[in-house]
Amino acid sequence: MLAVNIAGIKMKTPVMTASGTFGFGLEYSDFVDLNKIGAVVVKGTTLKPRSGNNGRRIAETPAGMLNSIGLENPGVEEFLHTTLPKLAQYDVPIIVNISGNTVEEYGKLATLLTVPGVAGLELNISCPNVKEGGIAFGTQCHSAAAVVEMAKRNTKLPVIVKLSPNVTDIVEMAQAVEQAGADAISLINTLLGMAIDIHKWKPVLGNVVGGLSGPAVRPVAVRMVWQVAQAVKVPIIGMGGIVTADDAIEFMLAGASAVAVGTGNFVNPKATQSVAEGIKDYLGKRGLSHVNQLVGKVNV
Protein backbone atom coordinates (compact mmCIF):
# COMPACT_ATOMS: atom_id res chain seq x y z
CA MET A 1 0.00 0.00 0.00
CA LEU A 2 2.80 2.38 0.90
CA ALA A 3 5.81 0.88 -0.90
CA VAL A 4 7.27 3.05 -3.64
CA ASN A 5 10.16 2.85 -6.05
CA ILE A 6 11.93 6.14 -6.59
CA ALA A 7 14.43 6.00 -9.42
CA GLY A 8 15.18 2.36 -8.63
CA ILE A 9 15.38 2.87 -4.86
CA LYS A 10 12.82 0.56 -3.25
CA MET A 11 11.21 2.10 -0.18
CA LYS A 12 8.74 0.56 2.28
CA THR A 13 6.98 3.88 2.65
CA PRO A 14 7.09 7.13 0.67
CA VAL A 15 8.30 8.98 3.78
CA MET A 16 11.99 9.81 3.80
CA THR A 17 14.08 12.05 6.03
CA ALA A 18 15.35 15.40 4.79
CA SER A 19 19.10 15.82 4.84
CA GLY A 20 20.52 17.77 7.74
CA THR A 21 17.56 17.20 10.03
CA PHE A 22 18.06 13.56 10.95
CA GLY A 23 21.83 13.29 11.43
CA PHE A 24 22.94 9.96 10.05
CA GLY A 25 19.75 8.27 11.22
CA LEU A 26 21.39 6.64 14.23
CA GLU A 27 20.72 9.74 16.35
CA TYR A 28 16.98 9.02 16.09
CA SER A 29 17.08 5.26 16.57
CA ASP A 30 15.70 5.54 20.13
CA PHE A 31 12.56 7.18 18.76
CA VAL A 32 11.79 5.52 15.45
CA ASP A 33 12.44 2.12 13.95
CA LEU A 34 14.79 3.07 11.12
CA ASN A 35 13.75 -0.13 9.35
CA LYS A 36 10.31 1.35 8.82
CA ILE A 37 11.40 4.62 7.21
CA GLY A 38 11.20 4.99 3.43
CA ALA A 39 14.80 6.12 3.17
CA VAL A 40 17.30 7.89 5.39
CA VAL A 41 18.93 10.83 3.64
CA VAL A 42 22.01 11.55 5.71
CA LYS A 43 23.64 14.81 6.69
CA GLY A 44 25.28 16.73 3.81
CA THR A 45 28.70 15.22 3.25
CA THR A 46 31.76 16.89 1.76
CA LEU A 47 35.18 15.65 0.64
CA LYS A 48 36.98 17.17 3.62
CA PRO A 49 35.57 17.61 7.15
CA ARG A 50 33.88 20.97 7.70
CA SER A 51 33.43 22.73 11.02
CA GLY A 52 30.47 24.82 9.85
CA ASN A 53 29.59 28.41 10.62
CA ASN A 54 30.47 30.42 13.69
CA GLY A 55 28.03 32.11 16.02
CA ARG A 56 24.41 31.33 16.56
CA ARG A 57 23.14 28.82 14.04
CA ILE A 58 19.37 28.77 14.45
CA ALA A 59 16.62 31.28 14.98
CA GLU A 60 12.98 30.53 15.51
CA THR A 61 10.53 32.36 13.23
CA PRO A 62 6.74 32.21 12.87
CA ALA A 63 5.84 28.54 12.24
CA GLY A 64 9.40 27.91 11.15
CA MET A 65 13.07 28.37 11.75
CA LEU A 66 16.19 29.75 10.12
CA ASN A 67 19.39 27.73 10.13
CA SER A 68 22.92 28.46 9.08
CA ILE A 69 24.80 25.35 10.14
CA GLY A 70 27.22 25.70 7.25
CA LEU A 71 27.48 22.02 6.32
CA GLU A 72 29.35 20.89 9.42
CA ASN A 73 30.20 17.26 8.76
CA PRO A 74 33.03 14.80 9.40
CA GLY A 75 33.86 14.35 5.71
CA VAL A 76 33.32 11.47 3.31
CA GLU A 77 36.17 9.25 4.60
CA GLU A 78 34.86 9.31 8.15
CA PHE A 79 31.35 8.60 6.85
CA LEU A 80 32.54 5.59 4.85
CA HIS A 81 34.72 4.13 7.60
CA THR A 82 32.72 4.86 10.72
CA THR A 83 29.09 5.68 10.01
CA LEU A 84 28.17 3.56 7.01
CA PRO A 85 29.15 0.26 8.71
CA LYS A 86 26.86 1.14 11.63
CA LEU A 87 23.98 1.76 9.24
CA ALA A 88 24.46 -1.67 7.65
CA GLN A 89 22.45 -3.31 10.48
CA TYR A 90 19.32 -1.52 9.29
CA ASP A 91 17.16 -2.59 6.38
CA VAL A 92 16.59 0.90 5.02
CA PRO A 93 17.93 2.63 1.89
CA ILE A 94 20.69 5.09 2.77
CA ILE A 95 20.90 8.11 0.50
CA VAL A 96 23.94 10.32 0.88
CA ASN A 97 23.51 14.04 0.36
CA ILE A 98 26.72 15.45 -1.12
CA SER A 99 28.06 18.94 -1.54
CA GLY A 100 31.15 20.11 -3.38
CA ASN A 101 33.11 23.32 -3.79
CA THR A 102 33.73 22.54 -7.45
CA VAL A 103 32.10 20.42 -10.14
CA GLU A 104 35.05 18.01 -9.88
CA GLU A 105 34.42 17.49 -6.17
CA TYR A 106 30.90 16.21 -6.91
CA GLY A 107 32.52 13.70 -9.27
CA LYS A 108 35.00 12.56 -6.63
CA LEU A 109 32.30 12.23 -3.99
CA ALA A 110 30.11 10.24 -6.38
CA THR A 111 32.97 7.83 -7.08
CA LEU A 112 33.88 7.41 -3.41
CA LEU A 113 30.28 6.81 -2.35
CA THR A 114 29.45 4.22 -5.00
CA VAL A 115 29.82 1.38 -2.52
CA PRO A 116 27.55 -1.33 -1.11
CA GLY A 117 25.28 0.15 1.54
CA VAL A 118 24.64 3.39 -0.31
CA ALA A 119 21.35 3.28 -2.23
CA GLY A 120 21.57 6.64 -3.93
CA LEU A 121 23.07 10.10 -3.96
CA GLU A 122 21.34 13.40 -3.46
CA LEU A 123 23.22 16.34 -4.94
CA ASN A 124 23.00 19.38 -2.73
CA ILE A 125 23.25 22.26 -5.15
CA SER A 126 21.12 24.46 -3.00
CA CYS A 127 22.71 25.04 0.39
CA PRO A 128 22.30 28.73 1.16
CA ASN A 129 24.81 28.69 3.99
CA VAL A 130 28.19 28.16 2.40
CA LYS A 131 30.19 30.58 0.33
CA GLU A 132 31.43 28.26 -2.38
CA GLY A 133 29.48 25.54 -4.11
CA GLY A 134 26.05 24.85 -2.76
CA ILE A 135 23.58 27.39 -3.95
CA ALA A 136 26.03 28.85 -6.48
CA PHE A 137 25.48 25.73 -8.58
CA GLY A 138 21.78 25.56 -7.94
CA THR A 139 20.70 28.95 -9.19
CA GLN A 140 21.99 28.69 -12.75
CA CYS A 141 20.85 26.05 -15.20
CA HIS A 142 24.20 25.44 -16.87
CA SER A 143 26.16 24.96 -13.64
CA ALA A 144 23.43 22.76 -12.15
CA ALA A 145 23.52 20.62 -15.28
CA ALA A 146 27.32 20.41 -15.14
CA VAL A 147 27.20 19.09 -11.58
CA VAL A 148 24.58 16.48 -12.47
CA GLU A 149 26.49 15.30 -15.54
CA MET A 150 29.68 15.00 -13.51
CA ALA A 151 27.95 12.96 -10.79
CA LYS A 152 26.23 10.71 -13.33
CA ARG A 153 29.54 9.99 -15.07
CA ASN A 154 31.04 8.85 -11.78
CA THR A 155 28.34 6.61 -10.32
CA LYS A 156 25.86 3.97 -11.28
CA LEU A 157 23.70 4.87 -8.29
CA PRO A 158 20.48 6.81 -8.74
CA VAL A 159 21.21 10.54 -8.64
CA ILE A 160 18.65 12.79 -6.95
CA VAL A 161 19.07 16.54 -7.33
CA LYS A 162 17.92 18.80 -4.51
CA LEU A 163 16.85 22.12 -5.96
CA SER A 164 16.91 25.55 -4.42
CA PRO A 165 13.67 27.51 -4.22
CA ASN A 166 15.74 30.70 -4.39
CA VAL A 167 15.41 30.98 -8.16
CA THR A 168 13.24 32.95 -10.55
CA ASP A 169 12.01 29.91 -12.47
CA ILE A 170 12.01 26.56 -10.66
CA VAL A 171 10.63 24.77 -13.74
CA GLU A 172 13.58 25.81 -15.87
CA MET A 173 15.99 24.49 -13.23
CA ALA A 174 14.12 21.20 -12.93
CA GLN A 175 14.14 20.70 -16.71
CA ALA A 176 17.85 21.49 -16.87
CA VAL A 177 18.79 18.85 -14.29
CA GLU A 178 16.42 16.31 -15.84
CA GLN A 179 18.04 16.79 -19.22
CA ALA A 180 21.46 16.44 -17.58
CA GLY A 181 20.45 12.99 -16.36
CA ALA A 182 18.94 13.48 -12.91
CA ASP A 183 16.99 10.38 -11.83
CA ALA A 184 14.78 12.25 -9.35
CA ILE A 185 14.33 15.75 -7.97
CA SER A 186 14.03 16.86 -4.34
CA LEU A 187 11.97 20.00 -3.81
CA ILE A 188 12.54 22.26 -1.90
CA ASN A 189 15.66 23.20 0.03
CA THR A 190 15.34 26.13 2.42
CA LEU A 191 14.32 29.64 1.45
CA LEU A 192 16.94 32.28 2.10
CA GLY A 193 15.87 34.42 5.04
CA MET A 194 17.06 36.73 7.78
CA ALA A 195 16.07 37.66 11.32
CA ILE A 196 17.19 40.75 13.22
CA ASP A 197 17.47 41.27 16.96
CA ILE A 198 15.77 44.62 17.44
CA HIS A 199 17.36 45.13 20.86
CA LYS A 200 20.93 44.63 19.70
CA TRP A 201 20.42 45.88 16.13
CA LYS A 202 22.27 42.77 14.97
CA PRO A 203 21.36 39.78 12.84
CA VAL A 204 20.22 36.86 15.01
CA LEU A 205 22.32 34.36 13.06
CA GLY A 206 26.11 34.40 13.17
CA ASN A 207 26.09 33.94 9.40
CA VAL A 208 23.68 36.92 9.02
CA VAL A 209 21.35 35.02 6.66
CA GLY A 210 20.09 31.44 6.78
CA GLY A 211 17.65 28.94 5.34
CA LEU A 212 13.99 29.12 6.32
CA SER A 213 12.20 25.82 6.90
CA GLY A 214 9.16 24.46 8.70
CA PRO A 215 5.41 24.81 8.11
CA ALA A 216 5.90 28.46 7.11
CA VAL A 217 7.44 27.41 3.77
CA ARG A 218 4.98 24.65 2.92
CA PRO A 219 2.74 26.57 0.50
CA VAL A 220 5.81 27.68 -1.46
CA ALA A 221 7.08 24.11 -1.60
CA VAL A 222 3.71 22.66 -2.64
CA ARG A 223 3.43 25.26 -5.41
CA MET A 224 6.91 24.41 -6.71
CA VAL A 225 6.25 20.67 -6.63
CA TRP A 226 3.02 21.20 -8.53
CA GLN A 227 4.69 23.40 -11.16
CA VAL A 228 7.63 21.06 -11.65
CA ALA A 229 5.40 17.99 -11.78
CA GLN A 230 3.76 19.39 -14.90
CA ALA A 231 7.12 19.80 -16.62
CA VAL A 232 9.30 16.77 -15.85
CA LYS A 233 8.97 12.99 -16.06
CA VAL A 234 11.36 12.02 -13.27
CA PRO A 235 9.89 11.42 -9.82
CA ILE A 236 9.74 14.29 -7.36
CA ILE A 237 10.47 14.01 -3.64
CA GLY A 238 8.40 16.72 -1.98
CA MET A 239 9.55 18.45 1.20
CA GLY A 240 9.14 21.72 3.01
CA GLY A 241 7.33 21.97 6.32
CA ILE A 242 5.86 18.48 6.54
CA VAL A 243 4.87 17.67 10.12
CA THR A 244 1.72 15.58 9.66
CA ALA A 245 0.29 13.07 7.20
CA ASP A 246 -2.09 15.73 5.88
CA ASP A 247 0.91 17.84 4.91
CA ALA A 248 2.53 14.91 3.11
CA ILE A 249 -0.68 14.07 1.25
CA GLU A 250 -0.85 17.66 -0.01
CA PHE A 251 2.60 17.22 -1.58
CA MET A 252 1.63 13.93 -3.17
CA LEU A 253 -1.54 15.38 -4.65
CA ALA A 254 0.64 18.18 -6.05
CA GLY A 255 2.78 15.59 -7.82
CA ALA A 256 5.37 14.25 -5.38
CA SER A 257 5.98 10.49 -5.58
CA ALA A 258 7.62 10.53 -2.17
CA VAL A 259 8.05 13.04 0.62
CA ALA A 260 10.67 13.95 3.19
CA VAL A 261 10.24 15.15 6.74
CA GLY A 262 12.81 17.74 7.79
CA THR A 263 12.18 20.34 10.47
CA GLY A 264 9.19 18.18 11.49
CA ASN A 265 11.65 15.74 13.07
CA PHE A 266 12.60 18.44 15.56
CA VAL A 267 8.98 18.99 16.49
CA ASN A 268 8.13 15.32 16.69
CA PRO A 269 11.02 12.84 16.67
CA LYS A 270 8.57 10.14 15.55
CA ALA A 271 7.21 12.25 12.67
CA THR A 272 8.45 9.97 9.87
CA GLN A 273 6.56 7.09 11.45
CA SER A 274 3.37 9.02 12.25
CA VAL A 275 3.24 10.56 8.76
CA ALA A 276 3.49 7.10 7.15
CA GLU A 277 0.78 5.71 9.45
CA GLY A 278 -1.42 8.70 8.72
CA ILE A 279 -1.08 8.26 4.96
CA LYS A 280 -2.07 4.63 5.34
CA ASP A 281 -5.17 5.60 7.32
CA TYR A 282 -6.09 8.20 4.72
CA LEU A 283 -5.79 5.68 1.89
CA GLY A 284 -7.94 3.21 3.81
CA LYS A 285 -10.64 5.77 4.52
CA ARG A 286 -10.79 6.79 0.88
CA GLY A 287 -10.79 3.19 -0.36
CA LEU A 288 -7.50 3.55 -2.18
CA SER A 289 -5.20 0.56 -2.51
CA HIS A 290 -1.90 2.31 -3.12
CA VAL A 291 -0.23 5.59 -2.34
CA ASN A 292 0.68 6.02 -6.02
CA GLN A 293 -3.01 6.76 -6.61
CA LEU A 294 -2.50 10.14 -4.95
CA VAL A 295 0.41 11.36 -7.01
CA GLY A 296 -0.44 14.46 -9.02
CA LYS A 297 -4.17 13.96 -8.57
CA VAL A 298 -5.01 17.51 -7.59
CA ASN A 299 -7.84 18.77 -9.81
CA VAL A 300 -6.91 22.20 -11.03
What residues from 105 to 144 belong to the interface with other proteins (CB under 8 A)? none
Q: Is residue 277 involved in binding other proteins (CB under 8 A)?
A: no
Of the residues 4, 14, 16, 20, which one makes contact with other proteins according to CB under 8 A: 20
What 3-state class would DSSP assign to 161? strand
Coil, helix or strand for 239?
A: strand
User: Which is nearer to other proteins, 20 or 133 (by Cβ)?
Assistant: 20
Cα separation of 54 and 156, whole Å? 37
Candidate residues 36, 52, 108, 209; the one interacting with other proteins per rule CB under 8 A: 52
d(CA 226, CA 224) in angstroms, rounded, equals: 5
Asked if residue 286 binds other proteins (CB under 8 A), the reply is: no
Nearer CB in complex with other proteins: 66/163: 66
DSSP secondary structure code for residue 2 in this structure: -
- Binding of residue 162 to other proteins (CB under 8 A): no
Q: Give the angle subtended at the CA of 152 by the CAs of 110 and 180, to the nearest 5°.
A: 140
Among residue numbers 249 through 268, which ones bind other proteins (CB under 8 A)? 263, 265-268
Shortest Cβ 172–other proteins spacing (Å): 31
Q: CB-based burial of residue 35 (10 Å sphere; 0-12 exposed, 13-18 middle, 19+ buried)?
A: exposed
Does 269 contact other proteins by CB under 8 A?
yes
Instruction: Pick from 12, 36, 58, 296 the residue near other proteins by CB under 8 A.
Output: 58
Interface residue with other proteins, options 36, 56, 108, 280 (CB under 8 A):
56
Q: Packing angle between helix 218-231 and helix 245-254, nearest 10 degrees? A: 30
Residues 15 and 12: their CA atoms lie apart, in Å, by: 9
Count Cβ atoms below 10 Å from residue 133 Cβ, excluding itself.
22
Q: Which of 40, 66, 113, 127 is catalytic?
A: 127
CB of 221 to other proteins, least distance (A): 15
How many residues contact other proteins, by CB under 8 A?
33
Span of 21-29, 138-146, 157-165, 189-197 interacting with other proteins by CB under 8 A: 21-29
Rounded Cα distance between 33 and 84, Å, is: 17
Burial of 181 (0-12, 13-18, 19+ CB in 10 A): middle
**CA 130 to CA 136: how far, in whole Å?**
9
Give dist(CA 64, CA 263) in Å, integer.
8
Cβ proximity to other proteins: between 155 and 273 the closer is 273
62 binds other proteins (CB under 8 A): yes
Within residues 166-225, the interface with other proteins by CB under 8 A covers: 214-215
Least separation in angstroms between residue 65's CB and other proteins is 6
Known catalytic membership, residue 127: yes
Longest dimension (CA), the chain: 56
Q: Which amino acid is at 41?
A: V
Is residue 90 within the footprint of other proteins (CB under 8 A)? no
Rule CB under 8 A: is residue 23 a binding residue for other proteins? Answer: yes
User: What residues make contact with other proteins under the rule CB under 8 A?
Assistant: 20-23, 27-28, 30-31, 43, 51-52, 56-60, 62-65, 67, 69, 72, 214-215, 243, 263, 265-270
- Provide the annotated active-site residues: 127
